[in-house]
Every structure is written in C-alpha cells, then in structure tokens.
C-alpha cells in the first residue's frame, strides 16, 4: 500500500511538471525552429545530467542497457520533443494537450510489451474509455488544427509511450534520474550536431518568453519531471500510475489559457472531467 501511494504521489508530481511542456514549447517555437529547440533542450539537460552523475559518482550502465537507453532517447529525448514542436506549428497548444490523454493507453500497451505487466480487464475498460473520449474530442470538439498537426501528435504519443515504459522498467535497476541522464548523454553527440546545423540566423529575434520556455523544457520537462515520473512508474506500476497522464490535459488547459490566452471551451472541460473519472476508476478497480 505504501509503495502504491508513493508511486502515485511521485507520478502526480511528474504529471504536474510535464503539464507545462506543450505551452512552453508553443511559446518557444514562435521564435525558434523546432529542430534547434529540440536539440538545445536535450543538450542543456544532458550537461545537467552528466554533472549529477559525475558529482554523485553513479555507476555506469551495463552493456545490456544500451538498447533500452537508446529506445528511451528515441522516445522522450528526440521523438516526443521534436514531433510536438513540429505539430505546434500547425495546431494550438490547447488542441495538442488533448492528445496527451492518449498517453496512458500508449504507455500501458508498451508496459505490457516491454515491461511484462498484466493489468486486469477493468483497467483496460477505463483506459479505453478515457482514450476514446480524448480521441473523440480531438476529432470533433476541438479547434481542428491541421491533419498534419494531428498526425504528428499521434506519432509523438506513440514514441513517448515507448520511452516511458522502457524508462520505467530500467529505473527499477538504475533509478529514475539516472536513466534519463544516461539517455540524454547517449543522444548528446547527435543533438549537438543537429543544434549546430540549425542555429538561429539572428539571436536578436528570440524574445525573453522563448528563452524562459527553453529553460523550462530543458530543466523541468527533460530532467526534474522524469526524476519523479520514472520513480512513480517503477514503484507503482507502469500501466497503473500511467493513468495519471489523463489529468495532464486539465493542468495544461489552465496554463494555455493563462500564458497563451487560448480559449478553453466547454467541450475541453467536459472531456477532461470524463477522463478524470476514468483515472479514478482505473485506480479504484484495476
């Protein structure tokens, strides 16, 4: 019981931190290219992670962990940040946030495939209802955006689910912040090269909101959030704690309305309450 509570507590903190990622990315891509933003946030986070690993004298991962770390890097260091940055040039932050409600189902599926978990039938019922609610809203109840933006967000959700599940499984042995730090370091050479090839033509065109957003997604979205999130998934169960991601749209809507002045309609609010109920159901019965 204590492990379950700790898992959900850590997971909730991670979700709250992640909720600011898409609104911050939306602000950043107004002045930066998606490729530069993706590489810059990864490089900054990798340097922070390397410093922590060195100062705390952490053990190097085993050779067998390279594949898992590569999948984590593909999913949450490169894939999700880049795909969402590209999508946010086509759709609003509020629209993109709705897709985050599909993450629990994606994470649960990869938790079964990669983490060896076997959720009960009741879990799949609530997870599917929540995902269907989100998908229905994205298709019928939102501002629409573009087809390309929607496709990019779906792809981002798939690779992110893989990265979450793989990272959670590996965190059981290496620890949450160690896993994301090693994944960031593994991707560092590629990210540095991409960053150098996509430097802004002029730095003067980048405003303070974009710099602050870059700082947020680098420190909190890429590092601090994963410290809590991977720990929560590892000790509370990938599929089970992953349902907390259904709450992320609610937090994200509030941030999008406050910082981006985006309209939050009743369809968004009602959809959010339905998925919140699904989280409660999955927690209670599954």
* Cα angle for residues 269, 136, 232 (degrees, 5° grid): 65
Q: In the structure encoding, which two tokens stand for residue 238, read together?
A: 């990938």
In the chain, which ranges are continuous DSSP H helix? 2-18, 21-28, 34-55, 66-72, 80-87, 93-99, 103-115, 121-136, 147-174, 176-197, 208-216, 225-236, 238-242, 248-260, 266-285
Query: How far out from the chain centre does Cα 60 lie?
Result: 25
- Residues 165-199: tens digit of each pLDDT: 898 888 888 888 899 999 999 999 999 999 999 99
Tell me: pLDDT of 136 over 60.
Answer: yes
User: 10 Å Cβ neighbour count for 254?
Assistant: 14
What pTM value is reported for the model? 0.80
List Cα–Cα distances, 229 to 233, 234, 273, in angstroms.
Answer: 6, 9, 22
pLDDT of residue 276: 72
């Amino acid at each position: 019981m204590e492990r379950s509570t700790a898992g959900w507590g850590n997971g909730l903190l991670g979700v709250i931190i992640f909720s600011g990622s898409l609104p911050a990315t939306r602000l950043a891509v107004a002045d930066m290219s998606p490729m530069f933003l993706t590489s810059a946030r990864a490089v900054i986070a990798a340097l922070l992670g390397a410093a922590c690993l060195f100062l705390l004298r952490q053990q190097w991962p085993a050779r067998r962990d390279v594949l898992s770390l590569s999948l984590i890097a593909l999913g949450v260091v490169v894939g999700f940040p880049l795909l969402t940055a590209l999508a946010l040039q086509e759709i609003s932050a509020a629209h993109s946030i709705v897709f985050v409600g599909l993450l629990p189902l994606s994470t649960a599926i990869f938790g079964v495939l990669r983490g060896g978990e076997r959720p009960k039938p009741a879990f799949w019922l609530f997870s599917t209802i929540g995902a269907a609610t989100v998908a229905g809203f994205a298709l019928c109840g939102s501002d629409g955006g573009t087809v390309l933006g929607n496709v990019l967000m779906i792809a981002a959700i798939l690779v992110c689910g893989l990265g979450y599940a793989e990272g959670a499984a590996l965190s059981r042995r290496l620890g949450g912040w160690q896993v994301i730090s090693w994944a960031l370091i593994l991707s560092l050479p590629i990210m540095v090269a991409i960053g150098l090839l996509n430097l802004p033509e002029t730095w003067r065109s980048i405003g303070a909101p974009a710099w602050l957003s870059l700082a947020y997604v680098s420190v909190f979205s890429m590092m601090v959030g994963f410290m809590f999130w991977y720990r929560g998934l590892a000790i509370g169960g990938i599929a089970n704690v992953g349902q907390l991601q259904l709450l992320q749209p609610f937090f994200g809507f509030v941030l999008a309305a406050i910082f981006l002045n985006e309209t939050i309609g009743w369809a968004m609010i009602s959809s959010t309450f339905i998925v919140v109920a699904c989280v409660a159901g999955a927690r209670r019965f599954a």
